[in-house]
Structure 1
């Protein structure tokens, strides 16, 4: 446990890519994984290569690693799911979108007829209630709990009907419940069962988990008991996993994979032979995060100065070959809720120097911690050089994310981090994205330490007030929150990266790259 009472594992759950703990790795290995690198069976199999290795289990209450999140979209369903490409809500386990009651605190959902889990057992309203209750139970420390704080209770009125009672009105209810995937109570009802379920999950989605290996990858099979609208159009999906850029590109060019994610920025032009590149603006970003409880970073002028000192256009050209957009808001410009912030950090070294002088931060020197994501590592030297030009000295300390969030950031010596994050994998709405970095206690209390400040309290109130509002009032409150975090910058993007997927259109039908991490094959068949 750290000094704030949060365990290392809890911290890692929230970071986005869980560290490969020995117990998890052993459990995943037990699932199998022996054929994830084998050749497919013609038109019955899709083979693809992901950019991350499998580093967590699959229980959707807490799964947040890049691979598990992508896999879970294929094997689990929520009552309402978000299309992984368009991000629009659609009825999944529900027969229709939720129905509002006579008052704004009640919503009703009816399950689709004949819904079954992949083991053939029926999905019942009791399973739905349990899936929400286990997330809401504080003892479980569920990652998803922070996204459904508006819920008061969930009850089953019959075997197919569930009624949700809210604490306060929440206009985004129909799409927000997509974060809660429905699991069988019989398989997750006690700690021992839940532990086993984490490595051998059972869902109601169009695919099932056949095997999983921490290094070799994941194999999915078609779920014969699936009765929803997104039936599996292939018998098997093999997902190789490797962070090696060259290996992924070779898989595509050599024909062993029909799709790869995270095409290396330097190699986009090298994709050839009829293969297609699909580039989308994404929320995923390079951010700067400060220890706001430590001098001089408790003064927002110092934090602002380090942003103004960066020539973001040069950084984007140099580090990501132009495949990013300079941040003009916390949200990326492709987000439906985007509003330009009142403060935009254009390159202004003179202003940066003036802010440092006003804050009394002369001869500033600190360690810049970074994660080892490729575009973060490529960006760090450019950022350090920019700071050097305004008289600031930063030394570089690059580590895997597990070490950064598990040991370094919680430590007393932490001051500044350059990292990346993409909570839009859970949903693209403004409320969810603001909550992730600015009200979640793991971030606000244990990482950037902004919690407890008047600005943090004001931000939280704006987010809560917006959640209870609708229309122009809600949009206006979100604008105030976006302006506030742009001014305070406890954690804030420098640029929003673009996701680059490549695939063979001759071998995949109805496939698109996503604007988040992962590859998604719902509705995709072999060409």
Structure 2
């Protein structure tokens, strides 16, 4: 019988805006998080997947992160599990990994709107999970309600403030009832990946270590610091069928090891090509450096003087020689921020606050704020490219009379020991929530509503922070595209002037591959790799 449920203690709109627990361990996808999912004890090889994929060959790839979280899509937030889940799971709607355009995945068609606050989705006929069980409406209801249950502390729940009830109409149809009209419903539900209820309830820990989805590839094994092995899901009947019999992802955190693996033909593709090696790698392989939303931000602790003064925050942005940081530290592989969004984003518009390098203006703003002889300890993560630009930040700030001490450490430790307890002045760190979605509402809420605004930079406690939240709320319910973009633009302008947390630059992501051994491959504008349209040559 089809099941009907309401999300346990379902979030209404205002509850959502106060939500911070779901992000308790998140560090803006600066790479991976500290908690580790248990390694699989399963054995197997992707080439032994059997079925119709037996003659297709295997895709060997070099990934830049180790396995530091589990795979359950309700909680997975590490860069590597998120990339793996692109291949293992499906949403009702998914976003093309390259274009970021929505398409019907487990849904037979895009969601159908019944009225302002009711939507229905019909499932793709014949869809099965990797354990051969059919995908049903009850699985869909379960997948949504477990995420929305506050007891599960899901990272994804913050993206669904509009959702009031999910119920199965019949075995193949699901109805969504909203607390308020939400114009982006069709693409936003892509954040929820559909899981088999029976498998999760039987052994959630095992599911987290070796997940079962309905995607084109099933996971055979996952070994921390070594590799992840996939095989083709031969019963898959959706829009993105596997074009390989399997995949072997080698986990090569060392940059030189990734380059060596590609040069020696041990792998066909690597992500995160070291900028210093990019020109040389491009001579021997196909390579591309793709503009992303991924950024380096400056975040200020508004609880600590003098950073509660907007003039001080602006001064430290004006005092950064961004062009030198990009040219020297990243060898040109970034673009200075001219907005919260990167210039290639479909909703980009130049922000009211754009900070070039103007040391005289920086000094003048500090003087206007009555600040002299400022000592700043800058907290940074130990991401390789962040460490490359860190001395250039110090050089810039020292040049405007701000004595700067660099505090570089492992990402999880920096957040736990300094940021989340408020024991910091300024932070510079990477982040890229665009792996979850590309719409402005999602990207802005990540940093300006919830954990970051309530607990980290504390902007939500200011009149401007509350105004930004009001603008985002209004945009979320606005059905007119032009009016919605205008509201987003106002929110971006406010953030660009107040700069509680704001981009310094948007990074380019360098990927290299052997195009003679791998066809159909396209590099991503987000962290990770996708092989949904790729095949061994």
TM-score exceeds 0.5: yes
Give matches, 1:4-23, under 5 Å.
11-16=24-29, 17-21=31-35
Q: Distance in 1 between matches of 2:313 and 2:379?
A: 15
- Aligned counterpart, 1:338: 348
Go from structure 1 to structure 2 and tell me whether the alpha carbon gap of 1:220 and 1:373 turns closer, same or farther (over 3 Å shift).
Answer: same
Go from structure 1 to structure 2 and tell me whether the alpha carbon gap of 1:83 and 1:451 turns closer, same or farther (over 3 Å shift).
Answer: same
- Aligned counterpart, 2:392: 382
- Aligned counterpart, 2:39: 28
- Aligned counterpart, 2:383: 373
Matched, 1:187 2:199: yes
Structure 1 moving runs of 4+ over 4 Å: 4-7, 31-36
Matched, 1:307 2:317: yes
SS of 1:281's partner is strand
SS of 1:487's partner is helix
Of 273, 277, 285, the match for 2:287: 277
Of 71, 74, 80, the match for 1:67: 80
Displacement after TM superposition at 1:406 (Å): 2.0
Displacement after TM superposition at 1:513 (Å): 0.4
Displacement after TM superposition at 1:195 (Å): 2.6
Go from structure 1 to structure 2 and tell me whether the alpha carbon gap of 1:273 and 1:481 turns closer, same or farther (over 3 Å shift).
Answer: closer
- Contact 2:255-2:274 within 8 A present in 1 as well: yes
Go from structure 1 to structure 2 and tell me whether the alpha carbon gap of 1:505 and 1:375 turns closer, same or farther (over 3 Å shift).
Answer: same
- Aligned counterpart, 1:53: 66
Displacement after TM superposition at 1:186 (Å): 1.1
SS of 1:398's partner is strand
Q: Distance in 1 between matches of 2:458 and 2:316?
A: 18
- Contact 2:217-2:231 within 8 A present in 1 as well: yes
SS of 1:445's partner is helix
Go from structure 1 to structure 2 and tell me whether the alpha carbon gap of 1:222 and 1:33 turns closer, same or farther (over 3 Å shift).
Answer: closer
- Contact 1:372-1:401 within 8 A present in 2 as well: yes
- Contact 1:265-1:321 within 8 A present in 2 as well: yes
- Aligned counterpart, 1:458: 467
- Contact 1:33-1:212 within 8 A present in 2 as well: no
- Aligned counterpart, 1:165: 177
Tell me how large the CA RMSD over aligned residues is: 2.0
SS of 1:480's partner is helix
- Aligned counterpart, 2:50: none
Of 108, 116, 120, the match for 2:132: 120
Q: Distance in 1 between matches of 2:509 and 2:502?
A: 19
Displacement after TM superposition at 1:280 (Å): 1.1
SS of 1:13's partner is coil
Of 363, 372, 385, the match for 1:353: 363
- Aligned counterpart, 2:404: 394
Q: Distance in 2 between matches of 1:315 and 1:459?
A: 30
SS of 1:232's partner is coil
Matched, 1:432 2:432: no
- Contact 2:163-2:177 within 8 A present in 1 as well: yes
SS of 1:46's partner is strand
Q: Distance in 2 between matches of 1:135 and 1:205?
A: 19
What do the CA deviations read for 1:249-300 (whole angstroms, capped 9, x no partner)? 1111111110000111111111156510122110011111111111111111
SS of 1:176's partner is helix
Matched, 1:140 2:159: no
What do the CA deviations read for 1:175-226 (whole angstroms, capped 9, x no partner)? 110000001111223xx73233111211000011111112002111111221
SS of 1:451's partner is helix
Matched, 1:212 2:225: no
Displacement after TM superposition at 1:357 (Å): 1.2
Q: Distance in 1 between matches of 2:415 and 2:44?
A: 29
- Aligned counterpart, 2:451: 442
Of 116, 122, 125, the match for 1:110: 122
Q: Distance in 2 between matches of 1:421 and 1:499?
A: 13
Structure 2: stretches of 5+ with no match in the other structure:
1-17, 48-53
Displacement after TM superposition at 1:236 (Å): 1.2
What do the CA deviations read for 1:375-421 (whole angstroms, capped 9, x no partner)? 11111110111000110011111111111122221234211111000
- Aligned counterpart, 1:478: 488
SS of 2:106's partner is coil
Go from structure 1 to structure 2 and tell me whether the alpha carbon gap of 1:508 and 1:375 turns closer, same or farther (over 3 Å shift).
Answer: same
Go from structure 1 to structure 2 and tell me whether the alpha carbon gap of 1:326 and 1:15 turns closer, same or farther (over 3 Å shift).
Answer: closer
- Aligned counterpart, 2:13: none
Displacement after TM superposition at 1:455 (Å): 1.1
SS of 1:30's partner is coil
Displacement after TM superposition at 1:32 (Å): 5.5
Q: Distance in 2 between matches of 1:454 and 1:33?
A: 57
Q: Distance in 1 between matches of 2:165 and 2:20?
A: 27
- Contact 1:508-1:525 within 8 A present in 2 as well: yes
SS of 1:341's partner is coil
- Aligned counterpart, 2:10: none
Structure 1: stretches of 5+ with no match in the other structure:
none
Q: Distance in 1 between matches of 2:489 and 2:135?
A: 41
Q: Distance in 1 between matches of 2:475 and 2:26?
A: 27
Displacement after TM superposition at 1:167 (Å): 1.3
- Aligned counterpart, 1:520: 530
- Contact 2:183-2:476 within 8 A present in 1 as well: yes
Displacement after TM superposition at 1:20 (Å): 3.9
- Contact 1:55-1:65 within 8 A present in 2 as well: yes
What do the CA deviations read for 1:411-459 (whole angstroms, capped 9, x no partner)? 34211111000001111111110111111x2211222122211111111
- Aligned counterpart, 1:231: 241
Q: Distance in 2 between matches of 1:326 and 1:19?
A: 27
- Contact 1:20-1:55 within 8 A present in 2 as well: yes
What do the CA deviations read for 1:442-495 (whole angstroms, capped 9, x no partner)? 211222122211111111110110011121110110010000000111111111
**How many residues are aligned here?**
512
Q: Distance in 1 between matches of 2:461 and 2:233?
A: 48
TM-score normalised per structure 1 = 0.94
Q: Distance in 1 between matches of 2:240 and 2:343?
A: 30
Go from structure 1 to structure 2 and tell me whether the alpha carbon gap of 1:373 and 1:381 turns closer, same or farther (over 3 Å shift).
Answer: same
Go from structure 1 to structure 2 and tell me whether the alpha carbon gap of 1:35 and 1:215 turns closer, same or farther (over 3 Å shift).
Answer: farther
